[in-house]
């Protein structure tokens, strides 16, 4: 892609640059031709000196410190909630805007939670920090948004089938190592997940809460309400870890205020930003991880009138957890900051 040499460019930092999401952030910045002046790659001490390719050059990874953000305009964080809590205040005090992929600030009423296709106007409410939603919430709501705008969705029942990349590079490695161990007859090592993940499914992501739901499942409720600015919508989720590399899928049933036909749902989704329809059961055409991995859009199929509930439709959704569920959404937020000229450099 030819670059515009006259455009304004920005200094960008990525905290957690060597992780699964961090690597995707670098790739998305390059592929979407984000106006980067200088790119700073930050990680823990164990990654210092590693080199990562960007725009034909190799950039050395530096140690993440509280002094890492001087002259940085945008900091993309994907190093876990504890790291975000420790270092984001320093980033903000240095004058840059932090886009956080962790759960650290999602429930903070002073921090906007943004999916650019749904609530782009919320970026203007930031006070230095903007949060990325949970990956499952981001993928689900990207698909459901146009339906919600047509007729308010009142209830969502969802079962998610979440890939190991949701647990980071260690999750991906654990699946690959367990498959290799099984194939070679060696002992299986369990570390990142509570049980063997190879050739298994685990109905348990994050810790259990007093109501029997896990934190991951409750995130889908709280974050849906915050993103849509709708405290009346209900979400009941069952989140399951499956032995898939990087695509989250989910079976979703939603109930709308007024009756909606399958034809109307198809019409709405076919014109939705960030959504691709794959809905021809007669030809066995429906979203799957093998067809969705590496794609920016979220995919929807198996769309049908639900036979158990009134005003309800059921569907199957798949989306790349590392992309729309994380890296892509974060870069899209950064693009909104540039488009709306609300970065410090735009006024300096």
126 is catalytic: no
135 is catalytic: yes
Are 78 and 102 in contact by the 8 Å Cβ rule? The answer is yes
Instruction: Exactly one of 135, 195, 298, 347 is catalytic; name it.
Output: 135
Q: How many CB atoms lie within 10 A of CB 299?
A: 25
Cα of first residue to Cα of last residue in the chain, in angstroms, is 29
Residue identified by tokens 């974060």 is 330
Contacts of 296 (CB under 8 A, 6+ apart): 274, 320, 323, 324, 328
Q: State the DSSP string of 196-214.
A: --TT--BS--S-B-TTS-B
Instruction: Exactly one of 96, 239, 248, 298 is catalytic; name it.
Output: 248
Contacts of 19 (CB under 8 A, 6+ apart): 43, 78, 79, 168, 169
Side by side, the strands of the sheet bearing 247-256 are: 234-241, 153-162, 247-256, 312-320, 298-305, 275-277
Residues belonging to the active site: 135, 248
């Amino acid at each position: 892609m030819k670059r515009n040499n006259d455009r304004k460019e920005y200094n960008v930092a990525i905290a957690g640059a060597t992780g699964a999401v961090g690597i995707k952030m670098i790739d998305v910045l390059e592929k979407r031709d984000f106006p980067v002046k200088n790119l700073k790659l930050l990680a823990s001490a164990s990654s210092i000196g590693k080199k990562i390719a960007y725009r034909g050059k190799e950039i050395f990874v530096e140690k993440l410190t509280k002094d890492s953000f001087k002259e940085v305009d945008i900091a993309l964080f994907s190093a876990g909630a504890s790291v975000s809590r420790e270092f984001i205040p320093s980033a903000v005090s240095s004058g840059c805007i932090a886009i956080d992929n962790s759960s650290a600030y999602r429930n903070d009423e002073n921090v906007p939670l943004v999916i650019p296709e749904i609530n782009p106007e919320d970026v203007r409410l930031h006070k230095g920090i903007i949060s990325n939603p949970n990956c499952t919430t981001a993928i689900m709501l990207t698909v459901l948004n146009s339906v919600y705008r047509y007729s308010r969705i009142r209830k969502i029942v969802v079962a998610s089938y979440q890939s190991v990349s949701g647990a980071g590079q260690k999750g991906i490695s654990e699946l690959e190592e367990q498959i290799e161990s099984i194939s070679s007859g060696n002992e299986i090592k369990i570390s990142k997940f509570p049980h063997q993940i190879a050739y298994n499914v685990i109905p348990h992501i994050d810790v259990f809460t007093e109501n029997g739901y896990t934190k991951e499942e409750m995130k889908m409720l709280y974050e849906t309400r915050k993103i849509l600015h709708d405290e009346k919508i209900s979400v009941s989720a069952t989140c399951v870890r499956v032995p898939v590399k990087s695509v989250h899928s989910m079976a979703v049933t939603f109930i709308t205020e007024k009756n909606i036909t399958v034809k109307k749902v198809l019409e709405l989704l076919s014109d939705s930003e960030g959504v691709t329809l794959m809905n021809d059961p007669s030809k066995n055409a429906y979203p799957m991880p093998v067809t969705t991995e590496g794609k920016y859009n979220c995919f929807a199929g198996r769309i049908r009138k639900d036979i158990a509930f009134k005003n309800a439709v059921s569907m199957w959704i798949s989306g790349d957890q590392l992309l729309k569920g994380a890296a892509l959404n974060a870069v899209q937020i950064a693009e909104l900051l540039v488009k709306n000229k609300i970065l410090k450099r735009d006024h300096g």
